[in-house]
Structure 1
Amino acid sequence: MTKFFRASLATALFAMAFGAQAQQVNNAPSFIINPNSNGLATDGVEFEANVMNGISSARVTSIGGTRYQSVGYIQYNGFSLNGETVSVDDTRLGSRNGYGLYATFTQTFTCSSLLSPGVSCSIDTINLSLFADKGTDNRFVQAALGRDASVTVNGDQVLLGTVNGINAGSAGISAQGGAFQNVNTNFNITEEGSAFFVSPDPFYSFAFSSFQNTSQGLTCRNAAGTGGLAFCTGATEVAINSETGNTDFNGAPSEVPEPGALALMGLGLLGMGAYRRKRLQK
């Protein structure tokens, strides 16, 4: 396999993966939300959306070898329907007389090597809780080296749903130096969540989240204890900020979710590697 062909194939696979990801967002099944449920707002109206948009912060630390743990949050700042933003006049998200929407999570990963640009990791476990914050008065503290991302809770919080199972997922640092994550999970809605997500009923049982940032959102520390953007090669600790992305929902309880975009790309790359090994053996 020539260098040109390998480069062309890799480019095509990346284009296919990100194209599939964009198509999944645009074609994601829609849902209807009642923002006045659970006493969260009083002047919102039921609205339709198919994507929750947000920004994430997390601190990743080594837990031995090439295994890592990530602790962080997602702060959702809007809803969209087929690429069009849903008006805050309807959603009341982030308004003074409305509510905040956020998730806190802990994940574990296994990587192909120590975290570095170009290294991808499989997501082993996840525990995530999705909350509504009545009054939008929580305080979000971004991750830093030596400090987990955290949420300082104020006032009433409503648990809308939980995640505790991985269907497929990849994360890591791209060759360009930015962090990324694509993950398919289960979604367990609560009674309060069913009042918030009013349709479909029963609600979707799977969730897909995709987040990424640039190298400007990373601060790393290596095994020698040296920190900074330049030390993301062989990193044992990474603070990830300004990671933007979205979450959508899919799947009835009896259905199997479609694999995420990076999972599809991974299959393509595995096939390319197998082809190359076969050629070398001849």
Structure 2
Amino acid sequence: MTDALDSLLDLLDLERIEENIYRGVSRPSVVPRVFGGQVAAQALVAAGRTVPDDRPAHSLHAYFLRPGDPGAPIVYTVDRIRDGRSFTTRRVVAVQHGQPIFHLSASFQEFEEGMEHQEEMPAAPAPDSLPTAEELLPRHAHLFQDPQIPRRLLEARAAVDLRYVQDPPFVAAENGPSEPRSQVWFRTNGKLDGARDQPMLHICLTTYVSDMTLLDSVLLAHGRGGWAVGDVVGASLDHAMWFHRPFRADEWLLYDQESPTAQGGRGLGKGRIFTADGRLVASVIQEGVVRVPRA
């Protein structure tokens, strides 16, 4: 396990303050607010701490209400909505400085057999054939608004090996608008083992990563490079995930993403996550603010 992954796992290991109340801290971000994937993953950890281990999460629905302050702790309060024979429902409110910054509802299910089908996995090159972030970002450092951003991105994402199949928006923008589709391969930068090799932790880690690139397809459709090059102001508004089949976050996952629409200063992103052998393991939908800065 790498030091960066160990640090991320520590970040997700919330402190229990009282029954149903947990506290988390933040890690440095490339923007002056808490990374949305971190808040979503920590809230799901808090919910999962109140659910039996044999009921992993199968869905979550969340709203980002206010920007998080990376310099202050976040308190997560869990409301035990329902404990049924097969399903468990939890609601989590994340609070900073006395105000809610994030709401999450999550559902957990005991495993059962049932009907099964899935979409086919789209074509994608093997992840080992694609450049790493350490190779890609310095190569395009001249495109960023701040020359320190590539280094800060590498530090912020060091726990995740994320590889773009197509050019990311900050590179593709040089050629103008393109098809609103993007793909990335990802896995944790190290293996989970021992006490940390738990199904819920793999789900929470994938929730963390799911917020990194989902709105890229919105930017590609309009030939925009994103906040890092200064031509877009953006933030996540809401986020929903469905977990279909067991998977490991420390093995390669293909994140296939597209944007069906953007309007009114908002863009919609849809994603499907597949294992390397073609199993559809998660679906994601997110809407975010995507605004062009005024001159």
Question: Normalising by the residue count of structure 1, what TM-score does the alignment of the two structures yield?
Answer: 0.30
Q: Answer with 1 or 2: which has the greater Rg.
A: 1
Question: Normalising by the residue count of structure 2, what TM-score does the alignment of the two structures yield?
Answer: 0.29
| Bigger fraction of residues in strand | 1
